[in-house]
Amino acid sequence: MPELPEVEVVRAGLAPAVTGARIAGVTVHDDRALTRHTGTAAEFEGALTGRLMTAAARRGKFLWLPLDGGEDALIGHLGMSGQLLLRAAGSPPERHERIRLDLQHPVHGEVAVVFADQRTFGSLAIDQLILTPDTAAGGHGDARALVPRQVAHIARDPLDPAFDERRFRAALARSRSAIKRVLLDQGIVSGIGNIYADEALWAARIHPETTAERVAARTVTRLLAEVRAVLEKALAEGGTSFDEQYVNVNGEAGYFAHSLNAYGRTGQPCPRCGHAIVRVSFMNRSSHYCPHCQRLR
């Protein structure tokens, strides 16, 4: 599933094309792409046509395009294989195309935003914007203290200026869950998925099964620093793509996969100590770590 870097790459790519653009037309090819939307495909098309998009924002793995009037937004979740692509107006349908938005931009002219999704777990929806409880910006890309109702339960990510580090530390201190499970809990900290959790824990020398409440304060400081470093490096490299499903708005894959130290490197030598990276089952997924550098204490 796309994590913060992959979704932020998409948001940043969309922003220049959608900000200030008017939606000239909407075509829903497959209403399975509207699982998060309340209403029919025809209602979705009608409610968006003629609207002006004012920004492109993101919190965690969700992104949204606020609409004129300031009361609602078009939100998107990429699921496991969703893609938001920028294409020329009138371009041929994309493989697995589910929804197409035809835009008219005052500077860039006509352009299309295509939502393609092979596995159909992703979704677009129109959702109400509500005030953020902390009065800070709802997400990266929009300074207003508004967030879609469907996204309000998602915690801020470690790169968000409004990320509450004290709240995060308090959540760890009272949790008896494995530290990796806490990192994957989007209600505590958002944007971190399996790949970047493994990478940050490797960098911080923490075993993924370490009980969160037993992680010392200074180690939490190191962990947060490594989480931020991993996310920022992945952003700089366009995210992680293994099967070319996670792509930017131009259909280009990121190359952070070449920088991975633990994830997906089962049996290969740890870049730090040379011992073999191991893979174990974890929450219907897998954890990758070095048993020598990341000892369970």
CATH of domain 165-289: 1.10.8.50
- Tell me the pairing of strands 109-117 and 97-105: antiparallel
- Global pTM? 0.92
Tokens 């994309």 locate to: 94
Around Cβ 259, how many Cβ atoms within 10 Å? 13
- Tell me the pairing of strands 285-289 and 278-282: antiparallel
Nearest residue to 106 via CA among 16, 25, 46, 45:
16
What's the confidence (pLDDT) of residue 271?
Answer: 96
What's the confidence (pLDDT) of residue 245?
Answer: 60
Radius of gyration of the chain (CA): 20
Tokens 């893979």 locate to: 279
Q: What is the strand order of the sheet 82-88 is part of?
A: 22-28, 97-105, 109-117, 82-88
CA distance 144 to 68: 13
What's the confidence (pLDDT) of residue 246?
Answer: 59
96 is in an annotated binding site: yes
91 contacts 104 by C-beta, under 8 angstroms: no
The CA-atom distances, in angstroms, between 170 and each of 60, 164, 166, 175, 273 are 20, 10, 6, 9, 32
Q: Which CATH number fits domain 4-151: 3.40.640.10, 3.20.190.10, 3.30.365.10, 3.40.50.200?
A: 3.20.190.10
Sorted by sequence, the CB contacts under 8 Å of residue 68 that are 6+ apart come out as 51, 52, 53, 54
CA distance 232 to 228: 6
Query: Is the fold of 4-151 the same as that of 165-289?
Result: no
Encoding tokens for residue 96? 């697995």
271 contacts 292 by C-beta, under 8 angstroms: no
CA distance 222 to 202: 11
- Tell me the pairing of strands 109-117 and 82-88: antiparallel
Give residue-wise pLDDT tens across range 204-251: 999 999 999 999 999 999 999 999 999 999 888 877 755 556 566 777
119 is in an annotated binding site: yes
What's the confidence (pLDDT) of residue 244?
Answer: 56
Instruction: Look up residue 90 and give its amino acid.
Output: G
The domain ranges of the chain are 4-151, 165-289
> Residue ranges of the chain with pLDDT lower than 70?
1, 241-248, 253-255
Query: What residues are annotated to the active site?
Result: 2-3, 61, 285
